[in-house]
Each structure stands twice: as C-alpha cells, then as structure tokens.
C-alpha cells in the first residue's frame, strides 16, 4: 500500500462563485394563486439577476467551466464527493495548468467587479417589477463569493492507521482500509480505458459520417454534417498525451492500447483525411479493430 501512496494523491478542486440566480417568493406565490397550486414546493419562480449579455461575468463562468473540465481530464475518479486521484506522474503537468487557470480566474474578477453597478442597472430594466435591490450583495460581500483552490491530500494508507484499541481490531480496520482503497483504485483505472474507447469511437463515427456518436461526450447530440473536423484528431493526440500520466498502476495493457491508437490513428493530418476516401476507410478499419480489441479485453464494472 505504501508504494501506491507514493504514486498518487487525493486532489480536490474547490471553486466558489456568485450564482446570479434567485427564487422570487412574490412571483412564486402569484404563480401558485394563478394556477391554483396548493403544494408549497410544486412550483418556484426563478430569475436571472444579471443580463444575459454580461461579458465580464460570462468570462468568469467560462474559466470555471474550463477548470472543472480540465480537473476531470487530468485526474481519475475517487469518490462521489468531488475528490479525485492525481497520479504523481501528472502532478507537475496538472499544477502548471492550474497555475495558469487560477491566474485567469483572479485576473477576470476585477473586470466583473468594476462592471457590477452597470450590470445591476441593466438588470433593473430587464426585470422590471421583479427587481429587488436586496437580492444583490454589496460589492464587498460579492468579492467574498469567489474563491479558487486546488488542494492535495495523501491517499489513505493502512500502515498509518493508529488507534487505542486491540491489536485484532487494528488489523481488521487496516485490512478494510486496504480493501476499500484497492477497490477504488481498480474502479479509477477503468476511466483511462473508457476515455480511450470514447476517443476511438468518436473518431470512428466521424470517419463514417454518422449523425450520432456512441461516445459518452456525444450522448444525445446529433451531427448536422458529416464533416471531419481537426479537433477529432487533435483531441485524440491530447488524450494519448495525458493518459500515460494517469496510468496509476503502470498497466502495461493500457500502455499497449495507447500506443496502438497513437500509431494507428493520430499520424494523419486532418486535411489528408478529409481529402482521401482511401485514408478515411483505412482509418475507419483501424478504429474498428482497436475498438473490438479493447472491448474484448476491457469490460467496465456495472
């Protein structure tokens, strides 16, 4: 267990920001009365407190979205609370990325704060009778709504467990910690395989010009055209770059499939793929072969 603890850590991304949304009690009561609704929580009237066109606020939300997406991309699942595993091999890369994002976040805030009075005035006109001055925090309180922190904690290590209880109880608890940790690690190591399968499946669907893609990122999405975009190849290249650093258990089979994808699917320029049906078909065949091999080898837990 100590070896695993040296190879990874628990990481949490904690970001808070102003929501710019609120439930309006007066409007809610009016709606209940209008439709004869007696159940208290059956309906609520929510309102957006800022104009839809608020570039300074939108810039912050985009940075936060990027941060959360990047955090998922650079780490592996750990539990449902938001904590994730960060392999030590990816620590430097991940922290460097987040230094940049954190700088972007704190650079964007003063622009929003400066625009705050103007946004409130615009919101007052938009909301009309639903505008309430008390819905808006003071600038001083607004600033306290924003924070950004990437934090790290050691993986639980059964050998570090101490308690003033019997030796038998200590050993039982140590075994339970060991079992739980290993189970979570095993579950976490499904994620790199799933990401790779998603990337290959997405490329295969775009090579075939399908309207729907089976990968997790495209669930519910329909493509309007059969265009093969640059991002299809570039995203797969980026995936093959980060996944080796997320190979927490040094899984040789995962390394094998990553290399197979790199050699078989990423060397071709998107322009060449778009212009050559021969290349497109060859890549589609390779993608299908890799999918079949990975699916036969890897079956995620239910």
Query: Do residues 203 and 236 make contact, with C-beta atoms less than 8 angstroms apart?
Result: yes
Nearest CA to 107 among 71, 59, 67?
59
Looking at residue 7, its pLDDT comes to 87
**pLDDT of res. 159:** 58
Q: What is the mean pLDDT of each run of 10 residues along the chain (302 residues)?
A: 77 96 89 87 91 96 98 92 92 96 98 97 94 96 97 75 55 66 85 96 93 90 89 96 95 96 95 93 95 85 58
Q: Report pLDDT for 169.
A: 56
pLDDT of residue 284: 94
Residue-level pLDDT at 180? 75
Which helix or strand (DSSP H or E) is residue 168 part of? helix 167-188
Place of tokens 């010009």: 209
At residue 40, the pLDDT reads 79
CA distances from 116 to 28, 109, 136, 144, 301 (A): 27, 10, 10, 14, 48
pLDDT value at residue 296: 87
pLDDT on residue 1: 47
H or E, element range at 147: strand 147-154
Query: pLDDT (tens digit, 9 = 90+) per residue, 162-193?
Result: 545 456 655 665 676 676 777 888 889 999 99
pTM of the shown model: 0.84
């Amino acid at each position: 267990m100590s070896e695993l603890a040296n190879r990874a850590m628990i990481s949490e991304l904690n970001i808070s920001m102003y929501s710019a949304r609120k439930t309006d009690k007066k409007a809610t009561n009016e709606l209940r009365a209008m439709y004869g609704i007696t159940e208290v929580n059956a309906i609520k009237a929510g309102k957006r407190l800022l104009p839809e066109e608020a570039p300074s606020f939108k810039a912050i939300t985009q940075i936060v979205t990027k941060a959360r997406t990047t955090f998922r991309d650079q780490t592996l699942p750990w539990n449902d609370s938001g904590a994730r595993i960060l392999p030590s091999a990816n620590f430097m890369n991940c922290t460097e990325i987040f230094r940049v994002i954190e700088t972007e976040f704190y650079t964007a805030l003063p622009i929003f704060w400066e625009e705050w009075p103007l946004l409130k005035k615009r919101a007052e006109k938009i909301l009309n009778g639903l505008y309430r001055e008390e819905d808006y925090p003071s600038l001083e309180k607004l600033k306290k709504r924003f924070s950004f922190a990437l934090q790290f904690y050691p993986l639980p290590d059964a050998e570090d467990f101490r308690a003033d209880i019997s030796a038998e109880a200590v050993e039982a608890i140590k075994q339970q910690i060991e079992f739980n940790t290993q189970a979570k690690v095993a579950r976490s190591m499904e994620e790199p395989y799933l990401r790779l399968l998603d990337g290959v499946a997405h490329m295969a669907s775009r090579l075939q010009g399908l309207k729907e893609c089976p990968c997790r990122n495209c669930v519910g999405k329909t493509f309007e055209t059969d265009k093969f975009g640059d991002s299809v190849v570039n995203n797969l290249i980026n995936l093959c770059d980060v996944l080796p650093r997320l190979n927490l258990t040094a899984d040789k089979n995962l390394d094998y499939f990553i290399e197979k994808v790199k050699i078989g699917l990423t060397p071709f320029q998107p322009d060449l793929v778009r212009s050559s049906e021969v290349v497109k078909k060859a890549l589609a065949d390779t993608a299908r072969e890799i999918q079949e091999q990975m699916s036969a080898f890897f079956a995620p837990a239910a």
